[in-house]
Amino acid sequence: MKKIIFLAILAAMMLQGCKTAGQHSADASGEAKKEAKLEMDPAKLFWSNGKGMGNCSACHAIPADTSGKPAGNMGPPMIGMKDRFPDIAKLKAAIADQKAFSPNTMMPPFGRNKILTPEQIDVIAQYIYQY
């Protein structure tokens, strides 16, 4: 009986181990790829979709940008940002995890789920802060 319990615990530990090992290797290769071409141009991050990008324009428009790029309207437009967010830290926190402020939002938790790095969130916040 003891042997079985021991085996079960060992198996559970190994299972956890292989899970984290799997995650680590996946994260490591993902990070390596990200590091190789981590996008830091805020305009590209804002307007482009796909992996490694911000996808911001899928939901948010910049009315002052008249270049004609398609932008969604599911989220509020990027306008009067300094008035709406006198403290830019709050804007960064919203990009990182808007669910913390609005539980039914559909805005992805870019920081919490590591979709963007803190540095990328910084440059995006600076970029939209001018509008």
The first and second tokens of residue 38, run together, are: 């981590």
Cβ at position 82, least distance to another protein in Å: 26
Nearer CB in complex with another protein: 10/64: 10
**Closest to another protein by CB, 15 or 82:** 15
Phi, psi of 32 (to 5 degrees): -60, -45
Contact 49, 101 (CB under 8 A): no
The structure tokens 């938790």 sit at 109
Cβ count near 59 (within 10 Å): 16
Cα 58 to Cα 74: distance, rounded to the nearest angstrom:
8
Q: How far is the CB of 15 from another protein (least distance, A)?
A: 4
At closest approach, how far in Å is the CB of 125 from another protein?
19
For another protein, the binding residues (CB under 8 A) are 7, 10-11, 14-15, 18, 22, 49, 51, 57-59, 70-74, 99, 103-104, 106, 108-109, 113, 115
* Shortest distance (Å) from residue 41 CB to another protein: 19
